Amino acid sequence: MRLLLVEDDPTLRAQLRAALVEAGYVVDEAADGREALHLGETEPFDAVLLDLGLPGMDGLTVLRRWRDAGRTTPVLILTARDRWHEKVAGIDAGGDDYLAKPFHIEELLARLRALIRRAQGLASPLLTCGAVALDTRSGRVTARGQPVPLTSHEFRLLAYLMHRPGSVVSRTELTEHLYAQDHDRDSNTIEVFVARLRRKLPPGAIETVRGLGYRLAAVP
Ligand code: CA
């Protein structure tokens, strides 16, 4: 899952980035409103963390512009404490949830998981596809009840597929959602990670749909 982190306070941005990466996300950052607007218009993020008080262009304007342009990416708004009117304005501008600063990182991560899940129509934090289960809260993966140890890269790949059960996901889409913008992308590496992940899952769990991409299959 790829996130856009919009926050102009460098200390808070660095802390959030570290926690998000630790939680298994890839993160692009923007420190001002114009950069955020541009990234959100051009890159496919799974969710956005949006501070409202920003240089260049305020967060509410950025959000309205995205929504006016038809971007439906889930947005979690970060507001200053006691600015209740900002929360109202943020939700009305198209925000999906908000969090008042200061907040506990665990709450931020839980809200983020819920936003990403709901964007795919998934209600439960425990994702299952046949014999494979992924708990988005703990990051644990099991196959037929047995733990499956995954590298962070393999986990991100599986998590993306598990959020889209039954859908064919192209290599381009995977590349766009598993790497940040500044990462040296080579779509061949996706094949390498799919091959590694396949070896750790029950046979047939990841189907190749010729010419189109990959699909998770519910194998018993
Ligand atoms: Ca700010």
Lowest-confidence range among 14-23, 121-130, 184-193?
A: 184-193
Distance (angstroms) between ligand 1 centre and the Cα of 55 equals 8
Question: Is the pLDDT score of 63 beyond 70?
Answer: yes
Helices (H) and strands (E) in the chain, counts: 8, 11
pLDDT (mean) for 166-192: 86
Can you give the pLDDT at residue 183? Answer: 75
Q: Which residues surround ligand 1, an ion (CB under 5 A)?
A: 8, 51, 53
Domain ranges across the chain: 2-119, 126-216
Q: How far apart are CA 134 and CA 203, in angstroms?
A: 17
**Has domain 2-119 been given CATH number 3.30.930.10?**
no
Radius of gyration of the chain, Cα coordinates, nearest whole angstrom: 18
**Mean pLDDT computed over 47-63:** 96
What's the CA-to-centroid distance between 216 and ligand 1, angstroms? Answer: 40
Q: Do domains 2-119 and 126-216 have the same CATH topology?
A: no
Q: Kindly give, in sequence order, each residue whose CB lies less than 8 Å from that of residue 4, ignoring residues fewer than 6 positions away.
A: 27, 28, 29, 30, 36, 39, 40, 43, 45, 47, 48, 49, 73
155, 181, 171, 157: CA torsion to nearest 10? 0
Cα 54 to averaged position of ligand 1 atoms, centre (Å)? 5
Distance, CA of 58 to CA of 56 (rounded, Å): 7
pLDDT at 187: 61
Contact partners, residue 104, CB within 8 Å, separation at least 6: none
Is the pLDDT at 180 greater than 80? The verdict is: yes
Domain covering 126-216 in this structure, CATH number: 1.10.10.10
pLDDT tens for 72-116 read 999 999 988 677 888 889 999 999 999 999 999 999 999 999 999
How far does residue 14's CA lie from ligand 1's centre (Å)? 13
SS3 of residue 72 by DSSP:
coil
Distance 107 CA to ligand 1 centre (A): 19
Residue 84, pLDDT score: 81
Bridge partners of 143? 132, 146
pTM as predicted: 0.92
pLDDT digits (tens, 9 = 90+) for 202-211: 999 999 999 9
